[in-house]
């Protein structure tokens, strides 16, 4: 099977230049750190575009496929512009994500709004901006959406998000397809939802079913299993209600390579399995091929990104670990503390140094659990060295916070030896820009 970009540990353009420094996108990482400061998120445009092309090639055997980038992985205006230019739509999960892709100039008919507790204001925004599909998660939302669409005298096009009862072997916090989940209608609730849409909610038009089975998935058989459940439900609903549903959304969740031990499947393997299964079921049930939506997020953006840190203090525990601290940590990458996520790193300015040591990379935040990487072997580290942590494009900036009142990091896009700021570094003034002091507390 042909390999794909999500199976790489590093961005495609990672190289060692004539100075012995790491470079990505033709840009020296040490120079980037000097120019923009650290912590610094660095995104490689070539890697993003290549994985997009991988996906399109992988699903070429099923022409009725629409790629929808899962914006929650990383949602910025520049990233949206790149994905839009590659022909991707957008799976959004908040009003903020909807507004970001809208301001980036995306055709909003290519946007889907997903989530388990959408607010009135968010649903109203989605209708006002012409979002193409809303994935309805529960009965409360169905009623709310009917109320809003009726008041606006608009038809709203929806999918029903269902819980298919499939459990993938990933971290329990990122499993979304098993029965005990906060997401979606249980299979036993689908008929009631359909009856409401057909008989009462006249402004809502149902087009198909949506399921999502998890994240950082390495199992290949799970996608055909999910598709079989969705197609069987579509056939059953047609037999019972005469309802011709013609869309299925199978979510995303394909894994990436965070460390050398990770062996994710390729997009081509998944594309082949999904396409073959759909062709098989279409023939078996004698139905028209449904439009397929797939929502890759992590596998699009994760490998494309790295984070640069500057080495600071160190501590050797007597007869124990050596801790080396960087100028970032759990506020710019909460995944190690949340999910026990593991990462691989290299020193950007000491690639050829032979003297190695095993250290634990600690963050700067006032939490004992603020550890980025445990027991990694690196060249001997000194204050001022630049550490490059790989595969941080997904869910790092998205989950970033101002914990300890620390400003969030900048982000740069690199391509063909050019670097451009796509997220400005926050300032101290930014940190207090929303603070207010009541007049009764004025001095």
- CATH number of the CATH domain containing 376: 2.40.37.10
For residues 26 and 118, membership in a common domain is answered with: no
Based on the residue annotation, tell me whether 75 is a catalytic residue of this protein.
Answer: no
Nearest alpha carbon to residue 302 among 379, 399, 420, 169: 399
For residues 122 and 207, membership in a common domain is answered with: yes
For residues 255 and 341, membership in a common domain is answered with: no
Does residue 375 carry a pLDDT above 90?
yes
Q: Please, which contacts does 217-221 make with residues 24 or more away whose CB atoms are closer than 8 Å?
A: 217/168, 217/170, 217/253, 217/254, 217/255, 218/169, 218/170, 218/255, 218/262, 218/263, 218/264, 218/265, 219/168, 219/169, 220/265, 220/269, 220/270, 220/273, 221/273
The answer to whether 398 and 75 have CB atoms below 8 angstroms apart is yes
For residues 317 and 258, membership in a common domain is answered with: no
Question: Residue 39, preceding bond cis, omega within 30 degrees?
Answer: yes
Q: Do the bridges between strand 133-136 and strand 156-163 make them parallel or antiparallel, or are there none, so unpaired? A: parallel
Answer whether residue 70 is part of any domain: yes
Answer whether residue 235 is part of any domain: yes
Q: What is the sign of the dihedral through the CA atoms of 334, 340, 341 and 343?
A: positive
Domain of 176: which CATH number? 3.20.20.10
For residues 315 and 295, membership in a common domain is answered with: no
Domain total for the chain? 2
What is the C-alpha R_g of the chain? 23
Does residue 172 carry a pLDDT above 50?
no
> What band does 178 get if pLDDT is binned at 50, 70 and 90?
very low
Residues of the chain above pLDDT 90, percent: 89
Q: Which domain-ending residue is among 268, 285, 301?
A: 301
For residues 283 and 320, membership in a common domain is answered with: no
- 390 is in which domain, residue-wise? 5-42+305-431
For residues 114 and 141, membership in a common domain is answered with: yes
Distance, in Å, from the CA atom of 395 to the CA atom of 335, rounded to the nearest integer, reads: 8
Does residue 80 carry a pLDDT above 90?
yes
End-to-end CA distance of the chain: 70
Residue 436 tokens, joined: 């207010």
pTM of this structure:
0.94
For residues 291 and 332, membership in a common domain is answered with: no
pLDDT given at position 169: 46
Does residue 176 carry a pLDDT above 50?
no
Distance, in Å, from the CA atom of 76 to the CA atom of 170, rounded to the nearest integer, reads: 27
For residues 9 and 85, membership in a common domain is answered with: no
The answer to whether 69 and 81 have CB atoms below 8 angstroms apart is no
Q: Which domain-ending residue is among 244, 266, 301?
A: 301
Answer whether residue 311 is part of any domain: yes
Answer whether residue 316 is part of any domain: yes
- Region 379-399: mean pLDDT is 97
For residues 147 and 162, membership in a common domain is answered with: yes
For residues 199 and 232, membership in a common domain is answered with: yes
Answer whether residue 209 is part of any domain: yes
Q: Which domain-ending residue is among 301, 319, 340?
A: 301
pLDDT given at position 351: 64
Write down the catalytic residue from 31, 168, 366, 388: 366
Answer whether residue 322 is part of any domain: yes
Answer whether residue 264 is part of any domain: yes
pLDDT given at position 174: 34
Residue 379 tokens, joined: 């060249």
Distance, in Å, from the CA atom of 78 to the CA atom of 100, rounded to the nearest integer, reads: 10
Answer whether residue 183 is part of any domain: yes
For residues 80 and 219, membership in a common domain is answered with: yes
Tens of pLDDT, residues 83-106: 999 999 999 999 999 999 999 999
The answer to whether 191 and 144 have CB atoms below 8 angstroms apart is no
> What band does 323 get if pLDDT is binned at 50, 70 and 90?
very high
Please list, in sequence order, all residues whose beta carbon lies within 8 angstroms of the beta carbon of residue 30, skipping any fewer than 6 positions away. 19, 21, 22, 348, 349, 386
């Amino acid at each position: 099977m042909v390999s794909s970009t999500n199976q790489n540990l590093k961005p495609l353009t990672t190289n060692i230049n004539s100075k012995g420094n790491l470079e990505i996108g033709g840009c020296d990482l040490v120079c980037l750190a000097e120019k923009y400061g650290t912590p610094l998120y660095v995104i490689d445009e070539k890697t993003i575009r290549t994985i997009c092309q991988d996906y399109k090639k992988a699903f070429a055997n099923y022409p009725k496929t629409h790629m929808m980038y899962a914006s929650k992985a990383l949602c910025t205006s520049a990233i949206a512009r790149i994905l839009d230019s590659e022909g991707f739509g957008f799976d959004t999960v908040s009003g903020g994500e909807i507004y970001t892709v809208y301001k980036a100039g995306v055709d909003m008919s290519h946007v889907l709004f997903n989530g388990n507790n959408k607010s009135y204001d968010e649903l109203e925004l989605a209708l006002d901006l012409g979002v193409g599909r809303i994935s309805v998660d529960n009965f409360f939302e169905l009623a709310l959406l009917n109320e809003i669409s009726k008041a606006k005298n608009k038809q709203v096009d929806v999918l029903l998000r269902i819980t298919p009862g499939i459990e993938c072997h990933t971290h329990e916090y990122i499993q979304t397809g098993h029965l005990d989940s906060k997401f979606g209608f249980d299979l036993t609730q689908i008929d009631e939802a359909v009856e409401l849409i057909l008989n009462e909610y006249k402004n809502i038009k149902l087009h198909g079913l949506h399921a999502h089975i998890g994240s950082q998935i390495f199992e290949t058989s799970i996608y055909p299993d999910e598709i079989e459940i969705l197609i069987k439900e579509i056939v059953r609903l047609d037999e019972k209600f005469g309802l011709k549903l013609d869309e299925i959304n199978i979510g995303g969740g394909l894994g990436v390579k965070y460390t050398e031990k990770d062996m994710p499947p390729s997009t081509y393997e998944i594309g082949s399995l999904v396409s073959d299964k759909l062709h098989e079921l279409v023939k078996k049930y004698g139905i028209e091929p449904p439009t397929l939506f797939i929502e890759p997020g992590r596998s699009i953006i994760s490998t494309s990104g790295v984070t640069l840190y500057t080495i600071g203090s160190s501590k050797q525990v007597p007869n124990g670990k050596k801790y080396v601290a960087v100028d970032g940590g759990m506020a710019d990458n909460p995944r190690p503390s949340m999910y026990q996520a593991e990462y691989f790193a290299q020193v950007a300015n000491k690639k050829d140094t032979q003297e190695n040591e095993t250290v634990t990379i600690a963050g700067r935040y006032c939490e004992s659990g603020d550890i980025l990487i445990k027991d990694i072997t690196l060249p001997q580290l000194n204050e001022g060295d630049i550490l490059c942590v790989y595969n941080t494009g997904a869910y790092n900036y998205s989950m970033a916070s101002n914990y300890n009142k620390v400003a969030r990091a900048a982000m740069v896009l690199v391509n063909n030896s050019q670097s451009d700021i796509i997220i400005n570094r926050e300032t101290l003034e930014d940190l207090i820009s929303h603070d207010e002091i009541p007049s009764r507390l004025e001095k």
